[in-house]
Amino acid sequence: MKLQKGISLETIAKKLNCDFVGDPNHLVLGINEIHRVEVGDLVFVDHPKYYEKALKSKASTIIINQSVDCPEGKALLISEHPFDDFNQLIHWLSPSKAFKVANASEASIHPEAILYPNVTIGDNVRIGKSTVIYPGVVILNNTVIGENVIIGPNTVIGSNAFYYKKKEHGFDRLLTCGNVVLEDNVELGAGCTIDAGVTASTVIGYGSKLDNQVHVGHDTIIGKHCLIAANVGIAGCVNIEDHVTLWGQVGCASDVTIGEKAVILAQSGISKSLPGNITYFGSPAKNIKLVYREMAALRRLPEILENL
């Protein structure tokens, strides 16, 4: 989430009631989670395992629960509870706003868009020319929808990110202040759920087509002209490059990249990044040529055992 105006390090430290390391006038230009952080952003880290990743990231400001050497050009906010303080900043800078009417007054809807009955639209939503939205669709705050988009019945766009921190009393949610962007010529089937980015955007690229009951997690970026079949589940912070095909019931773990023109066959499980221009199958997904060789060898196993 980018801020309309930079906020000084000292101002944020006073807001959070914590110490800081760095120039008091150092500016925070945005807040972001670690997978989508950019120069000028503030990020949080609360586990030694991830200190180095956060400190070496593009983030210019880090909320951290340990006194460490501050990298040159960056600033630190020393907090006992970085997760909670990050949530406090989101609540301060982007307070949640409930909408009270089915088609919120702050939405921008092109006059040539077609909205069927029982469509619910949040605030600050933009809907482009010739887009068709079928009954029962829920479009939550700050969603951006391009031109010639088709959204099937009962699809939900902009759900809260599934991002929690485990604590003694249970799980605390990281507040969501990101959004969803559907580029031109995207199609979503019936009953899809597209989660908003935690602090950035979940993006479905130009011309991509999603079948019924597809789930896309927070901050995932799907490229152009991708084809995703029914019951696919994609976790958060996944990068799917252009012209990728995911067939039915594929499951994908978080924070992986699927290369351009990769094809993932039905019911495969993706646990790590996969290079493009290859067809994959299995769980974990492997090059289909290797899987065929393994299957052929397995068929010969009874014969081999008989001859021992």
Active site residues: 218
The answer for residues whose C-beta is within 8 angstroms of residue 161's C-beta and 6 or more apart is: 174, 176, 178, 195, 196, 197, 198, 217, 218, 219, 236
Compute φ and ψ for 83, nearest 5 degrees: -60, -50
220 with 241: CB under 8 angstroms? no
C-beta neighbour count of 254 within 10 angstroms: 16
∠ CA 164-122-188 to the nearest 5 degrees?
Answer: 75
- The per-residue DSSP string of 27-65 comes to EEEEE--GGG--TTEEEEE-SGGGHHHHHTSS-SEEEES
Per the listing, tokens 């939405």 go with: 107
